[in-house]
Amino acid sequence: MKLFLDSSNTEVVHDAVATGLIDGVTTNPSLMMKEGKDPRDVILQICNMFGWTASVSAEVVGETAEEMLNMADDYIDIHPSVTIKLPLTPEGLKACKELSEDGISTNVTLCFSVSQAILAAKAGATYVSPFVGRLNDNSVSGVELIRAISDVYRRHDVNTEILAASIRDVHQVGRCFAVGANICTIPPTVFNKMYNHVLTDKGLEQFNSDWATLQDKLS
Ligand code: G3P
């Protein structure tokens, strides 16, 4: 069970990685655009935050497999932690197959159906990213898609890991893991909220106050 952070903000990623609870990071062109920095620098900085070979997804863009592979070459040279993220299209899967055969870590993104997840597995993807929140936005259960992919992958001994993406809230994290996601990639706001429970706050307040009372009695 792994938790990835879905962010290109190096300060925010740094703080989350420092908790020791984050196993990897995913980025995408929209997240990169938000930061407005050179994506290669962002990827390198994030990779260097881990003291081991983590998985840091850098997404390629292009019309053809060749264009995607050229861009992938640039990213691969940056750091051994780089995972190449590719779109679930015929050209994206062609590029994925080639990279997978060369032993490069790959993440096939924009997955919205079981049949697409089957193709990603056939292309040798290390990870497939079903978009939970965006499916929910379209009145289809994202969690049920994770369950369905997990059932098929388990039944057929598929090695591709299910990386639940487009996660919008804490509840979805628990549900995705419960139905078979190997990894959830989550925005920093959702990660921070995972700690929270009103009963934890209430219980802690009571423990602290009782401890202080005891100290007073003992002094
Ligand atoms: O990185 C892909 C994914 O997590 C995007 O999420 O919230 O833009 O649908 P969202």
Residue 62 pLDDT:
97
CATH number at residue 119: 3.20.20.70
Let me know if 217 is a catalytic residue: no
Written as one string, the DSSP assignment of 57-86 is EEE---SSHHHHHHHHHHHHTT-TTEEEEE
pLDDT of residue 180: 98
Residue 119 dihedral angles phi and psi, to the nearest 5°: -65, -40
Q: Could you count the other beta carbons within 10 Å of the beta carbon of residue 15?
A: 16
| Ligand 1 atom nearest to CA at 133 | 9
Which of 55, 131, 138, 184 to mutate for ligand 1's pocket (most ligand atoms within 8 Å of CB)?
131
Per-10-residue mean pLDDT, the chain, length 219: 98 98 98 98 98 96 98 97 98 98 98 98 98 98 98 98 98 98 98 98 98 97
Of the candidates 34, 85, 97, 202, the residue annotated as catalytic is 85
Residue nearest to atom 3 of ligand 1 (CA): 166
Residues linked to residue 58 through DSSP beta bridges, in sequence order: 84
Q: What is the pLDDT of residue 9?
A: 98
**Domain count of the fold of the chain:** 1
User: Closest residue (by CA) to atom 7 of ligand 1?
Assistant: 166
How far is the C-alpha of 137 from the C-alpha of 68, rounded, in Å?
A: 29
* Structure tokens belonging to residue 125: 């993807």
CA atoms in the 13 A half-sphere facing the CB of 129: 28
pLDDT at 166: 98
- pLDDT for 153: 98
pLDDT at 157: 98
Rounded CA separation 27/4 (Å): 10
Residue 211 CA, ligand 1 centroid: distance in Å: 44
Q: Which atom of ligand 1 is nearest to the CA of 185?
A: 4
- Domain limits for position 198: 2-218
Q: Whose CA is nearest to atom 8 of ligand 1?
A: 166
Q: What is the DSSP letter of 195?
A: T
